[in-house]
Amino acid sequence: MSCRSPFRLIAGGKRIGYDELQELPLQNDVTRTCILISLCALAGFGAKASANIEVGDSCRKVVRSIAQIEEAGFCDSAEVLQECVSDGASIHHSDFLTSAAGAKRVLVMGVFHGDEPHTAAVPFLWFKRLKQINPRNTWRFIPVINPVGLSKQSRGTETDADINRNFPTKDWGRAGWAKRRNPGKGPASEWETRCALAHIRSFNPDMVVAVHAPYGILDFDGPKTWRMPDISALPSRRLGTYPGSLGRYLWVERGIPVLTVELPARGRFVPEKDLILLQDWIGTVAKQYRKEKP
């Protein structure tokens, strides 16, 4: 007997419980096996669909907490890594893949600090734009890496740690403690930091972009030979790296370039055309950069 028969039996309205299924005559082993396989497949599909709906809903809940932000369909394709869930909070990401030859990987993260909610606008804008072009590279977007800080409207995490001082650099904690630069209880002590590290491991980016505020500059931790884009609202200024910072963890210790986009304070806007120019510059750097000792 083929597997189509038990499918019709179930679809036709006849209910067969697990105990009844086991009591079927031995000659119906094929039927019994096919029903089990069919039920398992349906259960798996239902669980996946339910999970996707839940992730999308939780993503939209986070976005709704940010005024005047358009997520551009991001939440429809959002995913969550296992390491990126804690006490009901989730850190969502979405990939934009390309089949272009020689494509590199760019990781973009926003809202490191909960009091900088408008930094999520840049990942959402770039995600939306990629849907309208044929990109040269593969991109991963994490618009909000600190959802708890965002919900509290505070800079730090639940324990008031600064994610950008919590990365496990070789000299972590050497800069000491400061109210707005709290490195945390230990290297990667915060689940948000561990989530970012999980993305770095799984996505293996060739370049990373971190969106902050409110200084209105571009700070590039990468080869000094690269000419920065000419954007009047975001002049280039190298600030250096610090113990526990993303720039020191990736560029100084691993040779992966990091661009920190410091948006102006809320209420001051960078023209969209300039942000598009910046995205193209990032794509070029990722495409042409060859990893070297910094």
123-171 pLDDT, tens digit each: 999 999 999 999 999 999 999 999 999 999 999 999 999 999 999 999 9
pTM passes above 0.85: no
Helix axes 272-288, 121-130, angle to 10 degrees: 70
Count Cβ atoms within 10 A of the Cβ of residue 35 and give its class: 0-12 exposed, 13-18 middle, 19 or more buried.
buried
For 51, 99, 150, the CA distances from 291, given in Å and listed in that order, are 38, 22, 34
Cα–Cα distance measured from residue 114 to residue 64, given in angstroms and rounded to the nearest whole number: 14
292 CB neighbour count, 10 Å cutoff: 7
Structural domain boundaries in the chain:
1-64, 73-288
CATH number, domain 73-288, options 3.30.465.10, 3.40.50.740, 3.40.1190.20, 3.40.630.10: 3.40.630.10
Cα–Cα distance measured from residue 83 to residue 75, given in angstroms and rounded to the nearest whole number: 19
Cross-sheet strand order for the sheet of 94-96? 94-96, 138-142, 105-109, 207-212, 258-264, 215-221
Q: What is the mean pLDDT of residues 211-235?
A: 95
Cα–Cα distance measured from residue 140 to residue 145, given in angstroms and rounded to the nearest whole number: 13
